[in-house]
Amino acid sequence: MKHRVAGRKLGRTTEHRIALLRNLSTALFDKEKITTTLAKAKELRPFAEKLVTLSKKETLHARRQVLRHIHNRTVVAKLFDTLSARYAQRPGGYTRILKLGPRRGDNAEMAIIELVGAKESEEAPKPKKRKAASKKAKASKKKKTVKAETKAGEQKKKTSKKKTKAKTKTAKKKAKAKTKAKKAAKS
């Protein structure tokens, strides 16, 4: 029975799991939005929110406690300077989990975990049609460059053929002149 056993093991040892949560929280505070599996996101949420709550204290002891888990000093500085000010009046709930659906390779449930109030979440997402149109434009540009390269290659071939023909003609003339000179020398 699984009474009073909280949390997920995520198929890792304790040390590996803690390292994973530290790396994920560092990336989350740095980029403010990351994509991961749903189980990892659900496990990351309380870990990251405790660090934000610590950063709101703004004491040296709190900074050192956060540095135990986040080893990147620039991310810790961002956490204490900008993020703690952003969430000063908020009593909790600093992160949001958005489900994405299954991953293509192994069908793992994916999710986006982001900090509430991040700039990217406030902006409207761009439609995918523009990306498809830009892919078509890139493909047509590639075709044009390939055509231009083939035309340039053909022109180079033509000029090189002309040069080789001219070289062979001059070489033939010189060879004839040498044979004439040898015949004249013999007679």
Please give the average pLDDT of every successive group of 10 residues along the chain, which has 187 residues.
91 96 97 97 97 95 97 96 94 96 96 88 52 65 66 67 68 80 78
What tens digit of pLDDT does each residue of 23-48 get? 999 999 999 999 999 999 999 999 99
Contacts of 67 (CB under 8 A, 6+ apart): 73, 76
Bridge partners (DSSP) of residue 37 are 110
- C-beta separation of 22 from 67 below 8 A: no
* Whole-number pLDDT of residue 147: 65
* Token pair listed for 82: 């900008």
Residues 113 and 42 in one domain: yes
Domain that holds residue 169: 126-187
Residues 102 and 158 in one domain: no
Bridge partners (DSSP) of residue 109 are 102
Domains identified in the chain, total number: 2
**Residue 7 belongs to some domain of the structure:** no
Residues 117 and 92 in one domain: yes
> Which residue matches tokens 């075709």?
143
Residues 25 and 72 in one domain: yes
Residues 31 and 115 in one domain: yes
Angle at alpha carbon of residue 47, lines to 87 and 33, rounded to 5° = 60
- Start-end of H helices in 9-127: 14-31, 38-55, 60-69, 73-78, 84-86, 119-122
Residues 47 and 135 in one domain: no
Residues 66 and 120 in one domain: yes
Residues 82 and 168 in one domain: no
Residues 115 and 55 in one domain: yes
Kind and range of the H or E run holding 115: strand 109-115
Name the domain boundary from 82, 102, 125: 125
Percent over 90 (pLDDT), the chain: 60
